[in-house]
Amino acid sequence: MVETIAPVVYGKRTGYFVAVAVHALAATLSAAVLGLALGGIGGIFGAPWGSVGSAAVLAAAVLYAARELGGVPVPLFDRREQVPQWWRTFFPRYVAAALYGAGLGVGFLTFLSHGTFVVVSAIAVATGDPLIGAMVTAPFGLARGLSVLVSSRSSDEEGPSQLVAQLRRPARVRRTRIVNGSACVVLAALAAAQLL
């Protein structure tokens, strides 16, 4: 995404920031719609489930904390792909930005790097409340949508590609694993507190 929604593609100022806004809004809305659906599904199956729901969230949070912090192989339930590249050439620029945002906001339809969103999705289901589900998943979409801003200072076509390579460096990957693992530990602690 960083290479597709970049200043070199949309122009230096206004065009780029409009594309970022459209992209981030679409990502936030699609993540919120996913949260609505997950909360609704939980509600259909009788959530909230009290201590059983808290225990399920606790288990998910502990598993994904172990994945992030200890390298335990736990699946992410993602597609292991990004949104189709051809959208960029087929659709008008801002439509493509919106479609890319919508695809990324759903999370599970694209490549996920960390398990934090799986835990947040479990929380959305366990609440049984579509509105709470939307509130807990929407920040994921917003963060994913705004992540393209890392390319805001690039001035040529190589800039975004170099940035992607920097983001994949082992030290940066290790830091993001620690941040996401720590978030899972906090979510596990909150779920455990519900059990007491």
pLDDT, one tens digit per residue, over 59-77 is 999 999 999 999 999 999 8
- Based on its alpha-carbon atoms, the radius of gyration of the chain, rounded to whole angstroms, reads 18
**What SS3 state is found at 74?**
coil
Tell me the residue type at 94: Y
**What SS3 state is found at 2?**
coil
What's the whole-model pTM score?
0.86
What is the per-residue pLDDT for 13?
A: 67
CA distance 129 to 43: 6
What is the per-residue pLDDT for 116?
A: 96
pLDDT, one tens digit per residue, over 26-64 is 999 999 999 999 999 999 999 999 999 999 999 999 999
Torsion angle (degrees, nearest 10) of CA 129, 127, 29, 84: -130
List of the chain residues with pLDDT < 50? 1-2, 8
